[in-house]
Amino acid sequence: MINNPLEHTVPTGDAAKELYALISNRQAAIGIVGMGYVGLPLAVATHAAGFKVIGFDNDAAKVERMNTGKSDIGRIGDDTIQKMRAGGRFLATADYAKLAECDFVIICVPTPLNKYREPDLSYIVATTNGIASNLRRGQVISLESTTYPGTTREVMKPILEATGLASGKDFWLAYSPEREDPGNPIYETATIPKVVGGDGEDAVILACRYYAAVVKAVVPVSSCETAEAVKLTENIFRSVNIALVNELKHIYTKMGINIWEVIDAASTKPFGYMPFYPGPGLGGHCIPIDPFYLTWKAREFDVPTRFIELAGEINTLAPVRVVHTLVDALSKQQRKSVAGSRILMLGLAYKKNVEDVRESPGFRLMDLLVERGGEVDYYDPYVPVVPFTREHANLTGIKSIEWDLDKIAAYDVVLICTNHDGVDYAALARSAKLVVDSRNALADVKDRDNIVMA
């Protein structure tokens, strides 16, 4: 893949040419709004490419930690932040007035759903308003947050142009979806190709010039809407296929067939098949949310999205099915109900080997078990304390128990929600009264009656 198909294409306008030269010479200042799981890795990659980086975040405590060389993300060590700070090309701030110092501004803020499962663009709107208050001629504004097609042009552009500056002439507007995969040992920000769309040809050229300096390759597309649709398509693809294997797991379990063995065997086919795996529910910021952004937008065009919605229903049902399995196992093997039982949930992060709890199915499992009267604790070496989340603020500050097999043996049932590496699952199986495994973590532990697959 060519690093930048537009490498030898120069913008047409004089102001765009000046900015193009600044980017090419690494003299452009890059502002990144949102220093979370997307923004901070992008800041690291941008700094490594030779640019000056200003990281913006509304969390004053986070800003202070970064400016003292501390990282809030496990895969980015404190030493990385310290080196960035020592080089004099990185500053974290909550002062949006410094946006005027940036030549290229990138938005990496959350795009959650509201309680009606409708897109919540409040973070994008608030950030765009903040940028508009400090907008000047000669800037590129690039949105990376996942959203529905049309957001960049229909929501952001009017706010920015209300300043009297025009997109494509005074400033340039782009969309380049984030493709982060926390905990992936193979791919990181700099090695993942970036799809780039823009409001006009110069916007695409300028955005590609910057991103090509930071990542392995760029893939220019014809519009912001196309780039927005690319991100949704990638994650809806995953959502639908995960729903399929979750449905197959339910069917095959009734037939006495091990879904994990089926998937492993099917994966030996070298063509026409891609393995997806069942679990206790969807987690992370993308897969549980992205499909609903498209289904919401599709209503505007009076287009049904039954297939996507059905996948969402199946995946939403996954935690409920896991709890039903736990209820049955506890009744049959321990002669107990959930009410009054001590339950240990192993893993709270949404995927293994990361501290990320965004949209974790673990929270839903805890809620369902507590609603049934269970006394629930959790163990997660990556999440020693439950951080604040908008949907589960009541759980903030709850601490993980320590790994102690004698204490674990006192629980009525252990529910494996996240299959972190480094956990001694064989010892867990020997010590626990009952283990309900929703991740196939105990696949290598044979011939134990106290293990139930969920």
Same domain assignment for residues 316 and 432: yes
pLDDT score at 284: 81
Q: What predicted TM-score, i.e. pTM, was given to this entire model?
A: 0.92
pLDDT score at 283: 87
pLDDT score at 172: 98
What lies within 8 Å, CB to CB, of 362 at 6+ separation is: 280, 283, 345, 347, 348, 349, 350, 378, 417, 418
Rounded Cα–Cα distance for residues 157 and 118 (Å): 21
CB atoms under 10 Å from CB of 79, counted, come to 10
Same domain assignment for residues 199 and 311: no
Would 247 be classed as within a structural domain? no
Low-confidence ranges of the chain (pLDDT < 70): none
pLDDT score at 266: 98
Rounded Cα–Cα distance for residues 393 and 357 (Å): 13
Same domain assignment for residues 295 and 380: yes
pLDDT score at 159: 98
Same domain assignment for residues 179 and 294: no
Of 102, 108, 286, 417, the active-site residue reads 286
Same domain assignment for residues 165 and 311: no
Would 46 be classed as within a structural domain? yes
Would 249 be classed as within a structural domain? no
CB atoms under 10 Å from CB of 161, counted, come to 16
Rounded Cα–Cα distance for residues 368 and 318 (Å): 12
The region, left, alpha or beta by phi > 0 then psi within -120 to 50, assigned to residue 164 is: left
Would 62 be classed as within a structural domain? yes
The last residue of a domain, from among 203, 222, 241: 222
Rounded Cα–Cα distance for residues 333 and 288 (Å): 33
Q: Which residues lie across from 141 on neighbouring strands? A: 105, 173
Same domain assignment for residues 139 and 76: yes
Would 251 be classed as within a structural domain? no
pLDDT score at 153: 97
Same domain assignment for residues 87 and 205: yes
pLDDT score at 8: 87
Would 241 be classed as within a structural domain? no
The last residue of a domain, from among 189, 205, 222: 222
Same domain assignment for residues 203 and 337: no
Active site residue 102: no
Same domain assignment for residues 174 and 296: no
Collapsing DSSP states into helix, strand and coil, what is residue 387? coil
For 176-212, b where at least 16 C-beta lie within 10 A, e where not — what string? bbbbbebbeeeebbeebebbbbbbbbbbbbbbbbbbb
Sheet holding 435-437, edge to edge: 375-379, 342-346, 413-416, 435-437, 451-453
The last residue of a domain, from among 222, 251, 283: 222
pLDDT score at 285: 77
Would 243 be classed as within a structural domain? no
Would 405 be classed as within a structural domain? yes
Rounded Cα–Cα distance for residues 382 and 87 (Å): 30
Is the Cβ–Cβ distance between 158 and 135 less than 8 Å? no
Q: What share of the chain is helix, strand, coil (3-state, %, to 5)?
A: 40, 15, 45
Same domain assignment for residues 207 and 114: yes
Same domain assignment for residues 216 and 271: no
Domain extent, residue 47, equals 14-222
- Residue 207 corresponds to which tokens in the numbers above? 């955005």
Rounded Cα–Cα distance for residues 146 and 291 (Å): 11
Same domain assignment for residues 328 and 443: yes
Is the Cβ–Cβ distance between 33 and 105 less than 8 Å? yes
Name the residue with tokens 């701030």: 93
CATH number at residue 300: 3.40.50.720
Query: Which H helix or E strand runs over 362?
Result: helix 361-371
* CA-based nearest residue to 172, from 215, 143, 194: 143
* Total domains, the chain: 2
For 266-279, the DSSP string reads HTT-SSS-------
Is the Cβ–Cβ distance between 358 and 283 less than 8 Å? yes
What lies within 8 Å, CB to CB, of 270 at 6+ separation is: none
Collapsing DSSP states into helix, strand and coil, what is residue 197? strand
